[in-house]
């Protein structure tokens, strides 16, 4: 029991420290802004460990963080194989194809207001649908390997990016477009020098939403059939064998990959849209 009480006391102490720290003037500095959520995360892990050890929760229900950590180190090879199969082959290739196709499609329909009025409501509608449901169909069509996962990802990311890009292409205002016209810029020049740059904040908004969707699509598609590797495959089989520490290890890798992917896209956004007010404000 001492584990449990120790963890609870530590949690309360850390919480009190956070409350105290948040009221101090130093709370405005960047260091403390990172430190407070970091401490909160650590306390959660310690509380988790304390509960599991104190109440002697069996490992098939909830493994302790230390056990998960040990599993991660012990099965690095498996995790890496799954990472390559699911994230690099399935999610990433699907993401690139889907987002590229969506941006090109948006530029194509941008010239026709008729198509825009027709496609946008349909696109908005499809973006709200449970698109993961088409995973079994695409697995049937494209086989069990990563191609079918990439296809699911393409379908999942296509509509959010399309809708956002179309909205972005309409974002430059009339004055700016008139200015381009007075310089006698052609359609291509206006597109490249004014409208695409002006659309970038919107496009990146869509791209950021799509990162999470891509990972979800790639993992869930593996529940419907996959070769004997991949994160979704490993999760569903490890659950069947009740080796939950391996499941949690996969989840940790997925979470890390998801955050890194999102961070990468957000970093590119920062570099591309440095001129936008939302980026200039944060220094």
Partner 1 sequence: MRSVLPILTVLGAIVVLWYGATVWLNAQWTYDQAARAGVEVSLPEVVTDTLSQERPVLPAPHQVAGGLWDGLLGQKVTSKRSLVYHGWVTLSATLLGFAIGTGAGILLAVGIVHNRAMDMSVMPWAIASQTIPILAIAPMVIVVLASLGITGLLPKAMISAYLSFFPVVVGMVKGLRSPDHMQLDQMRTYNATRGQMFWKLRLPASMPYLFASLKVSVAASLVGAIVGELPAGASSGLGARLLSGSYYGQTIQIWSALFTAAILAALLVMIIGVLERRTLKRMGMVR
Stretch that binds partner 1, among 158-166, 191-199, 234-242, 275-283 (CB under 8 A): 234-242
Q: How far is the CB of 40 from partner 1 (least distance, A)?
A: 4
| The binder of partner 1 chosen from 139, 154, 180, 198 (CB under 8 A) | 139
Q: Are 228 and 270 in contact (CB under 8 A)?
A: no
Q: How far is the CB of 197 from partner 1 (least distance, A)?
A: 26
CA–CA gap between residue 183 and residue 47 (Å, rounded): 65
| Three-class DSSP category at 261 | helix
Neighbouring CB atoms inside 10 A of 194's CB total 16
Using CB under 8 A as the binding rule, whether residue 157 contacts partner 1 is answered as no
CA–CA gap between residue 50 and residue 47 (Å, rounded): 5
Q: How far is the CB of 17 from partner 1 (least distance, A)?
A: 9
Q: Are 85 and 149 in contact (CB under 8 A)?
A: no
Using CB under 8 A as the binding rule, whether residue 151 contacts partner 1 is answered as no
CA–CA gap between residue 25 and residue 4 (Å, rounded): 34
| The binder of partner 1 chosen from 26, 76, 108, 140 (CB under 8 A) | 140
Q: What are phi and psi of 121, to 5 degrees?
A: -60, -40
Closer to partner 1 at the Cβ: 13 or 242?
242
Neighbouring CB atoms inside 10 A of 181's CB total 10
Residues 90-129 contacting partner 1, CB under 8 A = 114-119, 121-122, 125, 128-129
Tokens of 68: 């998960």
CA–CA gap between residue 283 and residue 79 (Å, rounded): 37
Q: Rule CB under 8 A: which residues touch partner 1?
A: 15, 18-19, 21-23, 27, 33, 36-37, 39-41, 60-62, 114-119, 121-122, 125, 128-130, 132-134, 136-137, 139-141, 211-212, 215-216, 219-220, 223-225, 231-232, 235-236, 239-240, 242, 244, 247, 250-251, 254-255, 258-259, 261-263
């Amino acid at each position: 029991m001492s584990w449990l009480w120790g963890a609870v006391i530590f949690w309360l102490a850390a919480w009190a420290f956070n409350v105290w720290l948040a009221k101090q003037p130093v709370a405005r500095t960047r260091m403390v802004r990172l430190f407070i959520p970091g401490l909160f995360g650590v306390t959660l892990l310690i509380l988790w460990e304390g509960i599991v050890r104190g109440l002697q929760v069996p490992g098939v229900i909830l493994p302790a963080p230390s056990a998960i950590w040990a599993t991660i180190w012990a099965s690095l090879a498996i995790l890496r194989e799954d990472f390559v199969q699911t994230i690099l082959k399935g999610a990433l290739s699907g993401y690139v194809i889907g987002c590229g196709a969506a941006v090109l499609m948006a530029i194509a329909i941008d010239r026709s207001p008729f198509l825009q009025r027709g496609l946008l409501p349909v696109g908005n509608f499809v973006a709200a649908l449970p698109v993961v449901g088409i995973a079994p169909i695409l697995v049937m069509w494209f086989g069990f390997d990563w191609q079918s996962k990439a296809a699911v990802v393409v379908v999942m990311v296509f509509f959010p990016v399309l809708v956002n890009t179309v909205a972005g292409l309409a974002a430059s205002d009339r004055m700016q477009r008139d200015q381009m016209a007075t310089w006698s810029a052609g359609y291509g020049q206006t597109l490249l020098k004014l409208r695409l740059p002006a659309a970038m904040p919107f496009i990146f908004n869509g791209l950021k939403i799509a990162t999470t969707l891509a990972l979800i699509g790639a993992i869930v598609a593996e529940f419907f059939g996959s070769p004997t590797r991949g994160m979704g495959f490993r999760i569903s089989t490890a659950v069947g064998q009740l080796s939950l520490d391996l499941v949690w290890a996969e989840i940790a890798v997925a979470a890390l990959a998801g955050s890194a992917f999102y961070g990468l896209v957000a970093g590119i956004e920062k570099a591309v849209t440095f001129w936008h007010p939302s980026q200039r404000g944060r220094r």
